[in-house]
Amino acid sequence: MSSDPDRPLLAPKKVSFKGSALSLQGRSWTGTSARNAGNVGALGALGALGTVGAVAAVGAFMGALFAFLSLAPALWLSQAVSHLSHQQVLLLAPSGTIWSGSAQLALSSGDKSSRALGLPSRLEWRIHPLWLSTQEAGGSFWSVFWSEPLTLALELQAPCCLEPNFRVTVKPQGLALLISPPKASIQLPAQWLDGLGAPWNTLQPKGRLTLQNHNLELLLGHPEPQLSGRLELKMDDLSSRLSTVKPLGSYRVWFNSQSSPQIELSSVAESRLLLSGRGQWVHGRLHFEGLADTAASDEETLSNLLNVLGQRTGHQAQLRID
């Protein structure tokens, strides 16, 4: 069989082969793309579902945490106060929650004491953001909201002892907390101190105690609490079961904030028992030295009381707290 030398015999097969190869390659590429697109879609759907599930889980957790904290019982606050004060300040028979509740504020001599003495009326409290306070309503609401969004207000009520609208603010300052009591007075019965045990339960003082804040503020968050301002304690018409002299006198105690907070004790004129002294807090402990003095004519009448107050030297007694 003869053939034309100019006829490209292998060209059709070569073209057909290439065409077939291209066609197969095209079909293979198209199938892979579809499978890849399906996988991507499935993974995207799973990712979206996972994201929605994670957001829902976080939301549920935060909601449960908020509900848990908002309903935290007042008993927890009572236990915290007892622990921090070494069981000398107690919140008895607490009711309500940490944020809004009441209890009987009492003093005790400390660990394992079976006796505590409470105030005549219950203490009620309410904790909330400062900008929610009804006292900040009106035109100042938004200014307070924007300027102090994290500041808390602690509103206290005790008909026996606190002035109306008694409010303490707690404001974050970096990693510390600034506690600012109001410039108001607190009225307390002197016999309330009996709850602290010796020597108060021996002296059994009676009279009026008045705490007056003079710009006192407390900064917590440092190795040691930092005080600024002054606090005055007035003790008026004090008397004791150890003496027939009633009243013994009136006295003033000043708490001054310095690098080491200072305390000063003085007597008001015409007091029969004269008290004086100075002290300071060092590493959380009070160191105080003073003198109890009386006229020679009252030495016999006040002898028992002077013996309890400190070491006797004639009609004087040394006052000392370490």
Residue 83 covered by a domain? yes
Residues 202 and 299 grouped into a single domain: yes
Domain boundary among 118, 135, 151: 118
Q: What is the DSSP string of 194-207?
A: GGG-TTHHHH--EE
Asked whether residue 233 falls in the same domain as residue 251, the answer is yes
Q: pLDDT averaged over the chain?
A: 80
Whether residue 207 contacts residue 236, with contact meaning beta carbons closer than 8 Å, is answered with yes
Residues 195 and 97 in one domain: no
Tell me if residue 100 falls in helix, strand or coil. Answer: strand
Inform me whether the pLDDT recorded for 19 exceeds 70: no
Does any domain span residue 44?
no
Pairing of strands 226-239, 206-220: antiparallel
Whether residue 264 has pLDDT greater than 60: yes
Residues 307, 207, single domain; the answer is yes
Query: In the listed set 95, 118, 141, which residue is the last one of a domain according to the structure?
Result: 118
Residues in the chain: 322
Same domain membership, residue 160 and residue 113: no
| One domain, residues 114 and 129 | no
- Let me know whether 167 and 251 are in one domain: no
Q: Quick one: 198 and 247 in the same domain?
A: yes
Do 99 and 220 lie in a common domain? no
Segments forming the whole domain that contains residue 262: 183-322
Residue 307 belongs to some domain of the structure: yes
Q: Are residue 219 and residue 295 in the same domain, yes or no? A: yes
Cα dihedral value 49, 54, 59, 60, nearest 10: 90
User: Which is nearest to 274 in space by CA: 306, 244, 226?
Assistant: 306
pLDDT confidence of 226, banded at 50, 70, 90? confident
Residues 100 and 141 in one domain: no
Question: 65-92: per-residue pLDDT in tens?
Answer: 555 566 789 999 999 999 988 899 999 9
Instruction: Give yes or no for a cis peptide into 199 (omega within 30° of 0).
Output: yes
Q: Is residue 25 part of a domain?
A: no
Report if residue 5 sits inside a domain: no
Q: Convert the pLDDT of each residue in 165-193 to its tens digit.
A: 899 999 988 889 999 999 999 999 999 99
Predicted structure pTM score: 0.73
Tell me, yes or no, whether 94 and 129 share the same domain.
Answer: no
How many separate domains does the chain show?
Answer: 3
Q: Bigger pLDDT: 230 or 146? A: 230
